Chains A and B, each alone.
Chain A
Amino acid sequence: MKSLPCDGSSKIDAVPRATPIAIRYVPDAMTLEATPAPSEQKLLERLLAGEEQAYEELVRSYGGRMLAVARRFLPVEEDARDAVQDAFLSAFRSIHRFEGNARLSTWLHRIVVNAALMKLRTRRRHPEQSIDDLLPGYLEDGHFERPASPWRTDGLDPAEEHELRELVLRSIHSLPEGHRNVLLLRDIEGLDTEEAADLLQISPGAVKTRLHRARQALRELLEPHLRERSAS
């Protein structure tokens, strides 16, 4: 675990302001409440007052959720933890900029996504695995090599639900990084094409192409499991 300076010299300086625009960067479920919950408001007041215990409470209350978000982007645990640490240090430095018109959890969520992407950008790059093998195959006449079958993903018991959730997460993680990140930002984090392009520093056209290919690949990875489920 590394230690970062907390004097503004960290490489992460793009901490978002908690404006209504920032709300667009979070999953739908988090947009339902755009103002701080009462417990968040009290914690915020204590943070702004510089109360030491409040900082620890912030880390313990929100660290687990932030680690889950970081792990989606950074499968290596040490990288994910580093991103969470970077995110908290950025949040500590910028807490005075939190304007109180969004939820604290929403603001922290956005910061950890930014920190994870920053970590990806600064990490040593490996050659991108091709996604072509994960795309559907076609016969010479343009029809599917293996026609798609219906899936059954409802009416599952809790154990099956858990199994399905693990399968989906595993499959997302197995996508090539460049495609996985687009899928995470667009379909999971709810960013629009322009926002994702800006964060990933690629063109909007590349975002669209990668998103469609990532969805196709994810579908192919899920198909044998969910098809079997429908046959059983």
Chain B
Amino acid sequence: MKCREFVEFLMEYLDGALGESERRVFECHIEDCPACVNYLETYRETVRLGHSVCTPDAEVPPDVPEELVQAILSARHPKR
């Protein structure tokens, strides 16, 4: 297995979607390739960072622009 194939099947590996023999080949490659270990860890970290910066706890909600509030309330009664 080369690094290119490792990356190609990485998501399936992390999802547990690889068959037993494919998984063994995958894990053999990890044991011998520090670059792919780093790739695996930083791929996981990428997913974690994307999720963590967008959770409600991580975000300070912006103020609602007053013109947007008024537009929404006006549109509720368009004929008034």
Identify the closest chain B residue to A154 (Cβ): B45
Smallest distance from the beta carbon of A39 to chain B beta carbons, Å?
A: 16
Contacts of A60 on B, CB cut-off 8 Å? 64, 69
Smallest distance from the beta carbon of B51 to chain A beta carbons, Å?
A: 6
Cβ contact within 8 Å between B53 and A165:
yes
Smallest distance from the beta carbon of A207 to chain B beta carbons, Å?
A: 11
Interface string of A204-232 (1 = CB under 8 A from B): 00001001100110110011001000000
Q: Could you say which of A12-20, A62-70, A122-130, A194-202 contacts chain B?
A: A62-70
Cβ contact within 8 Å between B68 and A85:
yes
The yes or no answer to A49 lying at the interface (CB within 8 A) is no
Cβ contact within 8 Å between A63 and B49:
no
Identify the closest chain B residue to A87 (Cβ): B72
Contacts of B36 on A, CB cut-off 8 Å? 148
Identify the closest chain A residue to B15 (Cβ): A208
Interface residues on B, range: 35 or more
Interface string of A1-21 (1 = CB under 8 A from B): 111111000000000000000
Identify the closest chain A residue to B74 (Cβ): A3
> Which residues of chain B from 27 to 47 have any CB-CB distance to chain A below 8 Å in the complex?
34-36, 38-39, 41-43, 45-47
The yes or no answer to B20 lying at the interface (CB within 8 A) is no
Cβ contact within 8 Å between B50 and A218:
yes
Cβ contact within 8 Å between B61 and A164:
no
Identify the closest chain A residue to B17 (Cβ): A208
With contact pairs A142-B4, A142-B5, A144-B3 given, residues A165 and B58 touching in the complex (Cβ less than 8 Å)? yes
The yes or no answer to B16 lying at the interface (CB within 8 A) is no
Helix, strand, loop or mixed for chain B's interface? helix
Cβ contact within 8 Å between A56 and B69:
yes
CA distance A67 to B61 in the complex (A): 8
The yes or no answer to A29 lying at the interface (CB within 8 A) is yes
CA distance A5 to B75 in the complex (A): 7
Cβ contact within 8 Å between A55 and B11:
no
CA distance A68 to B50 in the complex (A): 15
Identify the B interface with A (CB < 8 A). Answer: 2-5, 7, 10-11, 34-36, 38-39, 41-43, 45-47, 49-51, 53-59, 61-65, 67-69, 71-78
Identify the A interface with B (CB < 8 A). Answer: 1-6, 27-30, 55-56, 59-60, 63-65, 67-68, 72, 81, 84-85, 88-89, 92, 136, 138, 141-144, 147-151, 153, 164-165, 168-169, 172, 183, 187-188, 208, 211-212, 215-216, 218-219, 222-223, 226
Other CB < 8 Å A-B pairs besides A6-B75, A168-B53, 4 of them? Answer: A3-B75, A164-B53, A218-B46, A226-B42
9 contacts between A and B (CB under 8 A): A2-B71, A6-B76, A29-B57, A84-B72, A143-B4, A147-B38, A168-B49, A187-B51, A222-B42
